[in-house]
Structures are given as C-alpha cells and as structure tokens.
Amino acid sequence: MTEATALVRVPWARLERQRQAGKFGIWVFLASETLFFGALLLTYTVCRVEHPDAFAAAGRETNIWFGTINTAILLTSSLTMAVASQAAAKIGRARQLVLACLGSTAALGVAFMIVKGFEYKEDIDKHLVPGAGFALQQPAAQLFYGLYWLVTGVHAIHLTIGIVLVIRLIVLGAARRIRLRGSPELEVTALYWHLVDVVWIFLYPLIYLPGRAS
Amino acid sequence: MSAGRGRQQGRSSGLWLRNASVWAALLGLLLLSMFLAYIPMGPVTVASGVAIAVVKSTLVLVFFMELIRSRALIRLAALAGLIFAAVMFALTLADVLTRTGKI
C-alpha cells in the first residue's frame, strides 16, 4: 500500500481529488462562519454608531493587556499551525516537526483560554456583566458588554473545538493511527484554526481599543 | 542519505523563515494598532484599528491559509463569504448611517 492510498477515504478514488474536495468543503464552511461572525460584528457596528460615547466608555473598561497578549498568542499559534500544515505537505520525514508544531499550537490555544479565564474573572469582579448592579452609568454600555460576552464566548467555543481537533491529530499521529504526511485532515484542521485566529484579529480593535484616545 | 537530510533541513528552515516573516509582520501590526488607539485622531483612530485588522487578516488568509497558491475554486469559495458579508454590511449601513430622525 502506497502512502497516497493509505490516506484515501471512501468515496474518493484518488487522494488529490479527496484533498481538493476537503479544501473546498472547509472553505464553504468558513464562508458560512464569515457570515455568522459578520452578523454579530454588524450588530456591534450598528449599536456603536447609535451610542458612540457609551461604547467608548465601555471599551475603556476592558483590559487591553489581556487582549493584546491573547492576540499575540493566537497569532503565534497560527505560525506553528502553518508550519505544521506546510511541513506535512511539502517535507518528507517531517513527522517530529509536525507533531512538535501541532503540540505548540494546542498549548498556545490552551494558554489563550487560561488568559481569557483570568480576564473573565476580572470582568465579573468589576461588575461588567449586563444586568442589575452593572458598573457603568450609560445604559448602552450594557449593549457593549452583552455583545462582548456573546462574541468572545462563541469565539472561545470555536477555539475549544479547534484545540480538540488538533489534539486528536497529535494523538492519532503519535500512535501512527493516521499518516500526517500529506494528510488532508491536517490541512482542513489548519484552515479552521486560522479562521478562528482571523475572527479574533477583528475582535481585538472592536473590543479592546475603543475609547483609549479620549 | 546525508544529502537528502541536508535538503530536508534546507526546506524546513525555508519554511520557518517564510512563515516567521509573516508572523513578525503580524505582531508589528498588532503593536501599531495598540499604539494608534491612544492617539486622538477622531474617526481616523477607529478606522486605523479596523484597517490594520483587515491587513492582518489578509496576511493570514494569503500566506498561512495559502490562498496565494490555491486553485480558483478555493479562492471563489473564500471570496463568496466576503462578498455576502459585504452585501449584509452595505445594505444595513446604507439605512443606519442615513437616518435623519426617529420615526
């Protein structure tokens, strides 16, 4: 059995066909994700246009250091994921490198979640959860924090799914249950991971940067 | 055998170099957007944050997600999401930004 036939799954006859179908499928899914997060960001935009002062005041209350450190962590995880995916596709006998990069990616994902946990705790301590006893005077600041909890929560769910998918690849790859070299599964997982990063890239200026200059 | 290993190491370091350059640019842009957020420039301050996010995401899409060497079908699928999101934003903001008074 050749390497290519070991990776082929039903119903595909050839690996290249399977690879293209997998990539096309995940890109269609990512396009639907773009619309999903796009709708949330559009809601944020409309609310911010209607209540610019309240959003500036609410944005100032977020912890810019947690946000910036987490952005750097996710960008770095995208680097290790890109190297894992490209090494598996282009370099022969790169199993150790691919596994190390996948391990770093999952670890960075977990680090992001830990920092986010500390940030959520601080937000709760500062009474930044919408409802009775909310810390800020402006009513529309609750709109900002309603969207903050919703969008970062949905993003965290996406990232958790990504971490599970990456750990699955590490476990199966380390046990030699799947072949990582040229694996379409690794390519598709990498594309999903990068999209979760792209979503955060847009969340960063919208959540952490408003109101800093005023 | 050793020539093959040397070639493999060469490919590996080329891979790191290329991707690390993109990563360094992304971190530089992150710090730039944080820095600009503290400079009072009115609407330009808000626009700079979003514009830098667009540049950063383009770098990720083109280099890390390898749209630069993807087939036309894949690029079209990626573009489809952006186009429909752009339609959603354009139609909604065409209303919101041109409201002159409450009904």
The count of domains in chain B is 2
Q: Which residues of chain B have pLDDT under 50?
A: none
Q: Do residues B60 and B10 both lie within one domain?
A: yes
Residue A171 contacts residue A4 (beta carbons within 8 Å): no
Read off φ and ψ for residue A130, nearest 5 degrees.
Answer: -55, 145
Q: What is the pLDDT of residue B102?
A: 54
Q: Is the pLDDT of residue A69 over 80?
A: yes
Q: Distance (Å, rounded) from C-alpha A177 to C-alpha A179?
A: 7
| Torsion sign over Cα B11, A195, A108, A177 | negative
Helix (H, G, I), strand (E, B) or coil at B34: helix
CB contact under 8 A, B46 and A91: no
Q: What is the pLDDT of residue A10?
A: 83
For residue B27, give its domain range: 2-69
Which helix (DSSP H) or strand (DSSP E) does residue B81 occupy?
helix B72-96
A22 contacts on B by Cβ (under 8 Å): none
Q: Distance (Å, rounded) from C-alpha A79 to C-alpha A74?
A: 9
Using the Cβ of A171 and the Cβ atoms of chain B, whether some distance falls under 8 Å is answered with no
What are the pLDDT digits (tens) for B59-84? 999 999 999 999 999 999 999 999 99
In chain A the domains, ranked by start, together with CATH numbers, are: 13-208 (1.20.120.80)
Using the Cβ of A205 and the Cβ atoms of chain B, whether some distance falls under 8 Å is answered with yes
> Average pLDDT of A203-211?
97
Tokens 């002062």, located at residue: A53
What are the pLDDT digits (tens) for A34-64? 999 999 999 999 999 999 999 999 999 999 9
CB pairs under 8 A between A and B: 138
Q: Which residues contact A17 (CB under 8 A, 6 or more apart)?
A: none
Q: Do residues B35 and B58 both lie within one domain?
A: yes
Q: Do residues B65 and B85 both lie within one domain?
A: no
User: What is the three-state SS of A107-172?
Assistant: HHHHHHHHHHHHHHHHHHHCCCCCCCCCCCCCCCHHHHHHHHHHHHHHHHHHHHHHHHHHHHHHHH
